[in-house]
Amino acid sequence: MEMELLQIPEDRGYPTEYLLARIRGRHAYLLRDWDNIVFSQNPFEYLRTTRCGELIARYSQEGVWKCQQIEFQWVYYQMNKGLRDIFMPFFICSEIKTLIICFRYKIRRGNTAEVEKILPFSLLSGKIKEALKKDVDLLSVLEEFEEKFSFHADRLPRLKEIFLKNGLKGVEQTLTDEFLEHTISTGLHPVLKSFFISIIDFKNTITLYKYLRWNIKAEPLFIHGGSIRKSSLKKMIQPHKISEIARLIFRLTGQRVEEPGRLNIENILLKGLTRQIKIMGRVSPDIGPILDYLWRCSLEAQNLSIILYGREVERDVLKEELVYW
């Protein structure tokens, strides 16, 4: 099914050693000096001088996503078939965001032109792109996509029903959660398996944190397949103490935190995951560095989006939202 969702290049790609050498060179273009950007006189003008600057100046937030798409597309097309097969789940997970951006435009029928602007650098297959370009409303698109994005043979995701009940946020959560549960049960490369287990742990911890922090009444929905069993997570619900999160963060990242209710838990977890991926790069010298580079591209895009959204935010506060590496 994964092969139907993404483009399949006709080119055989390049040897792994060649791609690794090219990626080492491209590392130099990733932004690192976030303090210099955040505390510059005009961060937005500073960003215009970076590799994503032209796209940001033209498209603002969407320019950040386009910049990441271009880099991911470059890596994907440089890969040989063996590498593409290994990293296919990573790229599909990334393209779920492309779908959601397109769905957002489809809410108002007639925004086909806006959808077409998003897709040129997307790795989604031609059939998926054509379906997104149709001049129909979002409910019609979701109904058509229910079968295309059925990650479980025994059930369809009911995207139309989910949208009517929980909006696009619910659709994105359903697609992501079902994809992760499906993917972790397949024969992943050990590095990618470790990565997706960590992603599931990350999402489950955030879910538990929101439940405990805001005293949400509805029982939280955890994703199956992480290093922490769903049954263990459910037990943490019973005391209804936010302190449970501190214990969980220490287990996942090795970092001790006090008063987790006052901290940016997502940021702490992302930093912990980034350290783990960096270690993977040393343990697996062929697959690890590629994953590390793709992940850093994702973090760069996230940081850029935060800076663009936070133009009116105090600089010290903005800095705390960024993930450094």
Q: Which of the residue ranges 76-80, 143-147, 294-298 would you say has the lowest mean pLDDT?
A: 143-147
**Is 201 within a domain?**
yes
Instruction: Look up the pTM and report it.
Output: 0.92
Task: Answer whether 242's CB lies under 8 Å from 263's CB.
Answer: no
Distances (CA, A) of 194 to 152, 213, 224, 246, 302: 22, 28, 14, 22, 22
pLDDT at 242 > cutoff 70? yes
Mean pLDDT of 73-78: 97
Mean pLDDT of 177-191: 94
User: Do 91 and 152 fall within a single domain?
Assistant: yes
Last residue of a domain, which of 160, 187, 214? 187
Q: How far apart are CA 190 and CA 252, in angstroms?
A: 18
Domain that holds residue 150: 1-187
User: Do 87 and 13 fall within a single domain?
Assistant: yes
Which one of 144-153, 155-164, 212-221, 313-322 scores highest in mean pLDDT? 313-322
Nearest to 184 by CA among 173, 175, 172, 197: 197
Q: How many CB atoms lie within 10 A of CB 261?
A: 13
- pLDDT score at 30: 94
- Proportion of the chain above pLDDT 90, given as a percent: 62
Task: Compute, in degrees rounded to 10, the torsion defined by CA atoms 40, 44, 304, 285.
Answer: -70
**Is 305 within a domain?**
no
User: Do 35 and 173 fall within a single domain?
Assistant: yes
Q: How many CB atoms lie within 10 A of CB 103?
A: 21
- Residues 1-56: pLDDT tens digits? 444 889 999 888 999 999 999 999 999 999 999 999 999 988 888 888 888 999 99
**Is 62 within a domain?**
yes
Number of H helices, E strands in the chain: 17, 0
Q: Which tokens sit at 230?
A: 């769903």
Q: Which of the residue ranges 205-209, 222-226, 233-237 would you say has the lowest mean pLDDT?
A: 233-237
User: Do 159 and 261 fall within a single domain?
Assistant: no
User: Do 124 and 265 fall within a single domain?
Assistant: no
pLDDT at 103 > cutoff 80? yes
pLDDT band at 72 (very low <50, low <70, confident <90, very high): very high
Q: Which residues contact 31 (CB under 8 A, 6 or more apart)?
A: 37, 50, 300, 303, 304
Q: Which residue has the higher pLDDT, 12 or 79?
A: 79
Q: How far apart are CA 306 and CA 303, in angstroms?
A: 5
Count up the domains in the chain and report the number.
2
**Is 200 within a domain?**
yes
User: Do 176 and 206 fall within a single domain?
Assistant: no
Q: Which residues contact 165 (CB under 8 A, 6 or more apart)?
A: none
Q: Which residue has the higher pLDDT, 77 or 137?
A: 77
Q: Which residue has the higher pLDDT, 154 or 262?
A: 262
- pLDDT score at 118: 87
**Is 77 within a domain?**
yes
Q: How far apart are CA 321 and CA 264, in angstroms?
A: 8
Task: Answer whether 13's CB lies under 8 Å from 84's CB.
Answer: yes
pLDDT band at 152 (very low <50, low <70, confident <90, very high): low
What is the C-alpha radius of gyration for the chain, rounded to an integer number of angstroms? 20
User: Do 194 and 109 fall within a single domain?
Assistant: no
- pLDDT score at 4: 80
Mean pLDDT of 101-111: 80
Q: Which amino acid would we find at residue 256?
A: R
User: Do 203 and 155 fall within a single domain?
Assistant: no
pLDDT at 149 > cutoff 80? no
**Is 317 within a domain?**
no
User: Do 143 and 74 fall within a single domain?
Assistant: yes
Q: Which of the residue ranges 6-10, 170-174, 238-242, 255-259 would you say has the lowest mean pLDDT?
A: 238-242
Three-class secondary structure of residue 124 per DSSP: strand
pLDDT at 231 > cutoff 50? yes
Q: How far apart are CA 230 and CA 222, in angstroms?
A: 6
Distances (CA, A) of 72 to 78, 200, 289: 10, 22, 14
User: Do 44 and 136 fall within a single domain?
Assistant: yes
Task: Answer whether 187's CB lies under 8 Å from 199's CB.
Answer: no
User: Do 27 and 141 fall within a single domain?
Assistant: yes
Mean pLDDT of 164-182: 93
Task: Answer whether 1's CB lies under 8 Å from 151's CB.
Answer: yes
User: Do 6 and 121 fall within a single domain?
Assistant: yes
- pLDDT score at 240: 67
Last residue of a domain, which of 131, 166, 187? 187
- pLDDT score at 3: 46
pLDDT at 93 > cutoff 50? yes
- Proportion of the chain above pLDDT 70, given as a percent: 95
Mean pLDDT of 319-323: 92
- pLDDT score at 239: 65
- Residues 252-296: pLDDT tens digits? 998 888 877 677 889 999 999 999 999 988 889 999 999 999 999
Three-class secondary structure of residue 151 per DSSP: coil
Torsion sign, CA atoms 277, 64, 117, 136: positive
Q: At what angle do helices 288-309 and 265-283 cross, to 10 degrees?
A: 160
Task: Answer whether 75's CB lies under 8 Å from 294's CB.
Answer: yes
**Is 46 within a domain?**
yes
Last residue of a domain, which of 187, 222, 249? 187
**Is 224 within a domain?**
yes
